[in-house]
Amino acid sequence: MILEQGVRIKVPASTANLGPGFDTLGMALSLYAYIEMKPAEATVILPSGDGMQGIPRDKTNLIYEVAQMVFEEAGQSVPELEISMRSDIPLTRGLGSSASAIVGGMYAANALIGRPLPDSKLFDMATALEKHPDNVGASLYGGIVTAVWDGQHAECLRIEPPADLEVLVAIPAFHLSTVKAREALPRSVSMADAVFNVSRASLLTAALSAGRLDLIREAMQDRLHQSYRSELIPGMGQILREAVAHGALGAALSGAGPTLLALMDRNSVHKPELESFLSEVLAQHKIEAQTMWLDPCREGVRELTVKEAAGFGE
């Protein structure tokens, strides 16, 4: 079965490595990419919006490629596609743009052929490509996820974000590839640092599940990756050390960076102070950056009705 009229989907951005949850804890964020996919006579890829200039418009396009993986897995053939896409998620800044593209492309393709594959299969396939189950799980299932990847199979449990949790991101204008940020990491860590992170990742997961925002400050600490990456993001060390003194519940590098993220109680009177602090520290280090208040996104990728999707490509 192929839906000749096509499908339209909306997929959220995500933050990975939440605090101590390196490669483990992710959260979907209220920043989105949109994909429309239809069967066609000949393949045409139509990206629109900022940052889409370099996106391939032929069959090497990532969304086209992941769609074909889904069709092959499902034993279907849809070789020619019209794909329109628009994204508000900045690329290579640590906000899960590639996971969103992979999850969105796979979800759209599966919807186009009547959903033969379960979401758990899409999770495995997307993680095999993307490698980061915390980004993939968050974009697929929404909310906060605690995710595990054994090289073949991904597991994840979704946690409903606490109602008062809000997220401030400071998105530097420069790009940082995950490969480069990964090269900054040591090959092994001490038992003390491993225990430090396991204990805090466990506490953070429990605190978020229980809505205990008061525990986030202690629970957000990390010793596995942030300090090794601080030279790649000037100002990061100071922001992570001092954000709490400006009202944040905790702060972290988002994914492999360069975006910095602070968790905040949405009722806090310190929101303007925190935002100014992040902007000023980055400006002192001559880093151009955009700040944005986001919500945890409770929904994962989903199909839009024609009416909801009207005008998304504009």
User: Which spans of this chain sit near ligand HSE (rule: CB under 6 A)?
Assistant: 16-17, 23, 132, 135, 178, 181-182, 225, 255-256
Distance separating alpha carbons of residues 115 and 92, to the nearest angstrom: 30
- Point out the residue whose Cβ comes nearest to ligand HSE: 255
Identify the helix (H) or strand (E) that includes residue 253: strand 250-253
Give 200 or 271: the residue with its C-beta nearer to ligand HSE: 200
Give 26 or 105: the residue with its C-beta nearer to ligand HSE: 26
CB–CB of 218/203 below 8 Å? yes
Supply φ then ψ for residue 12, to 5 degrees: -80, 155
Least distance CB 159 / ligand HSE (angstroms)? 18
Identify the helix (H) or strand (E) that includes residue 167: strand 165-172
Least distance CB 23 / ligand HSE (angstroms)? 5
Give 8 or 225: the residue with its C-beta nearer to ligand HSE: 225
Give 28 or 78: the residue with its C-beta nearer to ligand HSE: 28
Least distance CB 228 / ligand HSE (angstroms)? 10
Distance separating alpha carbons of residues 241 and 262, to the nearest angstrom: 11
Q: Which amino acid is at 286?
A: K
Least distance CB 120 / ligand HSE (angstroms)? 21
Two structure tokens written together for 211: 């809505």
Give 23 or 124: the residue with its C-beta nearer to ligand HSE: 23
Least distance CB 148 / ligand HSE (angstroms)? 13
Distance separating alpha carbons of residues 113 and 174, to the nearest angstrom: 39
